[in-house]
Structures are given as C-alpha cells and as structure tokens.
C-alpha cells in the first residue's frame, strides 16, 4: 500500500470512530435502516487519483519541538491500492426521506484527539444530533477552532494533557467544518462533514465507499476532497494556504434490491 504520512493512521482511527458511533465499517456510511419503508438499493464505488500524488510539502517547526518535532510534513492526500483516495466524503443529494427523520444521535460520541501535534482522525462524518468529544493527548497547549463557511462554530483551548470538551452538534448546519489549531501549530487540520441525512460515506483505505438503504430514484452523487497543493505559508499570521477543495458530481440511478456503481476520477490541478 502507498501512504503519505499521517493519513494512514487517521484513516484507521476514523474507521474505528465511525464503526463505534455513526458509521459503517465497510465504507463509512451512516446507519439508515429506518430511512425507507419500501424496497431499497445500494450505491457503491471508488475514488481514484489519476496520475501520481505530488510530493508533500514540509516546514520547520519553531514551537514545542520536544513534542512536535523540528519539521512537519504537510500531506493532503493518502493513497491505497491502485491509487484509491482515502478519507474522501461522498454525499448522495436529493433523497426524499419518507419518514422525514434525520439520523439518530450516535450511541457514542465521536472522538477527536490532539496527539503528536496532529488531529486524529483527519476526516469524519458526524450526524447533526450527535456529540463530538475533543481531547488533548499532548502535554502542551492546543486548541480546536472549528469554522464553517468562514464563521466560527466552536473554539476550545486545552492547556492540560487529558483535558476533554464536549461539542453538541444539534444546532450545527449540514456541511463541512474545518478544524485548525491557533496555538502555534498551524499545520494541524481536520474536516468534519455534518450530515442531516444518512446517505453519506467516507472512502476507506482503498478509496472505496458504500451508501446503503437508498430509495429507488435518480440522484446527484457528490465527492468532496480537501485541496491538495500548498500555495503559500503566511509566517506572520501562521497560516497555511492551500488550493480550493475538489468537488465532483455525477448522476446515479438506484433500483430496488440492486447495487448502483459510481466511480470518481480525481485529477489534481496543475
């Protein structure tokens, strides 16, 4: 298997968190057993990178070197078998839920850990009614600044090792939340997809995804992956500026008691 640094570990942690709380270990889809009262189908596929991944950028670390090290690699993509892209969000749009129900709250909170000056997992799916637990496993100050559409959603500073905070996601709107550390560790980043419906998946270590229990119909399937290429580093503001995220869409038709296959080819910008 071909890796780029921390994503391989993060993908394993993400799979564990989703399996225990809000996901399907086979593909990261949210539980949706009660989403339809009639026959249903399945959407499955892969996200594959076309061409080779770029060499990850790196930067020197000026603060907390005893914990964080002296340099940091800045990968933004991880590849598995046959260039499958790990940790990519895949969302089915336009599904009419007959019951009108949103995904139920998870039985266990999803955990975000600040460990070795990184966030684990790097990508995760969280239903709107769930809670997120944030903890600091490092013996230094970290914080988790969650932003959505340029607006602050939450911001927790954790100065003590083992400190833990709970974030209630009930009032958060669906979509991507970006996490960043403002405590001198600007390379730290992670992404949450807040889901108001169960038809969302996260690609596994080989880029595969599965979305189950889909009512028959034709829908838009969207893929979202963070920007990969580092554009510049603002040393004064301690900000890493990356290219825009990648978003691809396609139409998919789902029939009862069958699997619909939909694959995405990710081509990086020059």
Residue pLDDT, tens place only, 73-93: 999 999 999 999 999 999 999
Q: What pLDDT score does 37 carry?
A: 60
Residues 206-221 have pLDDT tens digits of: 999 999 999 999 999 9
Among 88, 77, 89, 80, which residue's Cα sits nearest to residue 6?
77
| Whether pLDDT at 33 is above 70 | no
The fraction of the chain above a pLDDT of 90, given in percent, is: 71
Could you state, in order of their start, the residue ranges of all structural domains in the chain?
7-266
Q: What are phi and psi of 138, to 5 degrees?
A: -95, 150
Residues 108-149 have pLDDT tens digits of: 578 999 999 999 999 999 998 888 999 999 999 999 999 999
Pairwise CA distance, residues 216 & 76, whole Å: 35
Pairwise CA distance, residues 142 & 14, whole Å: 20
| Whether pLDDT at 21 is above 50 | no
The pTM of this model reads 0.85
Mean pLDDT of the chain: 85
CATH 3.90.1150.10 corresponds to the domain 7-266: no
For tokens 């995804």, what's the residue? Answer: 209
| Whether pLDDT at 30 is above 80 | no
For tokens 């570990």, what's the residue? Answer: 9
Pairwise CA distance, residues 16 & 8, whole Å: 13
Residues 159-214 have pLDDT tens digits of: 999 999 998 887 789 999 999 999 999 999 999 999 989 999 999 999 999 999 99
What is the rounded radius of gyration, in angstroms, for the C-alpha atoms of the chain? Answer: 18
Alpha helices in 43-141 (DSSP H): 65-68
Who contacts 204 (Cβ-Cβ below 8 Å, separation ≥6)? 11, 15, 26, 27, 28, 80, 86
Pairwise CA distance, residues 202 & 110, whole Å: 15
Among 145, 161, 252, 135, which residue's Cα sits nearest to residue 201?
252
Q: What pLDDT score does 169 carry?
A: 82
Q: Quick one: tokens of 5?
A: 């640094």
Report the phi/psi class of residue 7: left, alpha or beta, with left for phi > 0 and alpha for psi in -120 to 50: alpha
């Amino acid at each position: 298997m071909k890796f780029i640094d921390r994503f391989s570990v993060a993908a394993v942690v993400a799979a564990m968190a989703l399996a225990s709380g809000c996901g399907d270990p086979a593909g990261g889809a949210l539980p949706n057993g009660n989403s339809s009262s009639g026959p249903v189908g399945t959407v499955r596929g892969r996200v594959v990178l076309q061409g080779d991944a770029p060499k990850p950028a790196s930067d020197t670390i000026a603060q907390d070197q005893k914990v964080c090290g002296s340099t940091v690699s800045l990968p933004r993509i991880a590849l598995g078998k046959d260039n499958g892209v790990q940790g990519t969000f895949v969302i089915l749009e336009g599904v009419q839920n007959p019951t009108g129900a949103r995904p139920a709250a998870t039985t266990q909170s999803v955990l975000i850990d600040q460990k070795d000056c990184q966030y684990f997992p790097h990508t995760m799916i969280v239903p709107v009614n769930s809670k997120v637990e944030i903890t600091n496993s490092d013996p230094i100050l970290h914080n988790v600044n969650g932003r959505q559409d340029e607006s602050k959603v939450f911001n927790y500073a954790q100065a003590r090792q083992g400190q833990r905070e709970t974030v209630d996601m009930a009032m958060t709107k669906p979509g991507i939340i970006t996490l960043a550390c403002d405590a001198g560790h600007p390379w730290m980043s992670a992404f949450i997809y807040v889901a108001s419906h169960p038809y969302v998946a996260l690609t596994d270590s080989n880029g595969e995804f599965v979305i189950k229990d889909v009512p028959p119909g034709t829908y838009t399937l969207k893929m979202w992956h963070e920007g990969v290429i580092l554009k510049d580093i603002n040393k004064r503001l301690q900000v890493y500026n990356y290219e825009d995220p990648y978003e691809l869409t396609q139409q998919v038709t789902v029939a009862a008691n069958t699997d619909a296959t939909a694959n995405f080819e990710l081509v990086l910008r020059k």
